[in-house]
Amino acid sequence: MNIDLFNYLERIANLMRQEIRLDGQSLGLQPVQQEALHYLSICNRYSDTTLAVTEFLGLTKGTVSQSLKVLQNKGLISKVKDKTDKRITHLHLTSVGRTFIDKTYPPAKFSTAVAGLSVADQEATKELLQTVLRNYQQAAGRVAFGVCKHCKFNQPSSGGILCGLTKETLSTYDTTLICREFLD
């Protein structure tokens, strides 16, 4: 049973990677550069640094730094110093980067395949895959990078939503992004 599940997930992931690679060729992007760009499109302001990209992708800092330079040179990302801590540099998608991501993620053929499922099946599959991901991350001892709204630090407050770790107010949009500080 495990081998079948693994083979299905691996085959789906491989098909998605192939489609994404083809899309990236239009901008001369390597797969690692696309992965970094995609990560930056789904992470929050606590997770948009070179270190977080490195941790998320599980690559060396040198590889990630070179990939980010390419993305910046192609006008897909920009670097912005933190307003309060000038040692921190945030990485943001430019409008060109956002347009590329919006057109290529999720891959069109994946969206077509998922559209063939009922809404109930889509939700059930999503919940099962979330559980598999959580279990895999725990077994691997890897940082969770979970979605903010499901984090134990996410707290309702009189002013809206508060991150219990940073004590900062979060927007509803912020809570839909992934964070390197996530705890289940």
Reported as a single tens digit per residue, the pLDDT across 148-157 is: 998 899 998 8
pLDDT, mean over the chain: 92
pLDDT digits (tens, 9 = 90+) for 38-90: 999 999 999 999 999 999 999 999 999 999 999 999 999 999 999 988 899 99
Radius of gyration of the chain (CA): 18
When pLDDT is cut at 50, 70 and 90, the band that residue 183 belongs to is confident
Q: How far apart are CA 35 and CA 124, in angstroms?
A: 26
> Residue 59 phi/psi, 5° resolution?
-115, 175
pTM (two decimals)? 0.87
Give the model's confidence band at 138: pLDDT under 50 very low, under 70 low, under 90 confident, else very high: confident
Sign of CA dihedral 119, 120, 121, 123: positive
Domains, the chain, in order of start with CATH, read 1-116 (1.10.10.10)
Whole-number pLDDT of residue 1: 63
